[in-house]
Amino acid sequence: MHTMLGILKDHFQYRQQIFKLAKADLVKTYRGAALGWAWAIIKPAVTIFVYWFTFQIGIKGIGSEVDGFPYFLWLISGVIPWFYMSDMLTGGTECIRKYSYLVTKMKFPISTIPTFFSISKFMVHLILTVIMIIIFIAMGYPPDIYLIQLPIYMLFSFLFFTVFSLFASLLACMSKDFANLVKSLVTAVFWLSGIIWNINTMKDISWLKMLLKINPVTYIVEGYRNCFIHKTWIWESPKTLIAFLGILLVLIIISIWTYRRLRKEIPDVLN
């Protein structure tokens, strides 16, 4: 509890610096490119087009309608939240190493580095989410009352992957093998999380379907689709909600314990 209060205190005291560094990270990401900020949209758009073309045109029959919505809309409602999660799984794991000078030269609180990195990536996610809503409207599917729960799933995503980033980035400082392990698992997480295929079509193996659904990535992706596609409320799936919150709580405890054990060693390791 003392360590957690210390982390919260650091975030409060350095709240202005956190947002300034988040903005700086965002600017740095696209600095020097001729198209600048446009790459924040171009890169996801190309990726979505490739997935859509593969499953709608290339492999006919897989990309059919889902719950009365075109496969393209079903696809983007899952892929867009994945872009943020993917950035946090890869970049978040190495964020402390990336900003090692803040620790070794400026004595900046280590616990706040994953936070401003997450805020930076979440800003792009917000832009993409607005574009997604516009696409739904343009294709004749305006938002309805179910969209009011979208901020809840956004908050879940932000909290989970910010906490994960703190845990993973601390371990990545101690061992580069851990960072390489996370990177190698990202592709597996993508294909096993029902992002581009409908997990609800699994009927023969119910236990496997439930196991996949309590995967935090799957839960968040399905949460976004609950708002746009499935039209269901967050409390209508209490088991998966409780499972997600339980996993989040365990992750918070592990992250705090790891931070308490490693925070004094990190500056020496990074030097």
Give 12-70 pLDDT, tens digit per residue. 888 888 888 888 887 777 665 545 566 667 777 777 777 777 766 655 555 567 777 88
Asked, for residue 31, whether it belongs to a domain, the answer is: no
Asked, for residue 58, whether it belongs to a domain, the answer is: no
Asked, for residue 54, whether it belongs to a domain, the answer is: no
Residues spanned by the domain of 261: 2-23+67-270
Asked, for residue 250, whether it belongs to a domain, the answer is: yes
197's tokens: 């295929």
Confidence (pTM) = 0.88
Asked, for residue 34, whether it belongs to a domain, the answer is: no
Asked, for residue 28, whether it belongs to a domain, the answer is: no
Please tell me the total count of domains within the chain.
1
Asked, for residue 40, whether it belongs to a domain, the answer is: no
Between 240 and 271, the more confident residue is 240
Asked, for residue 111, whether it belongs to a domain, the answer is: yes
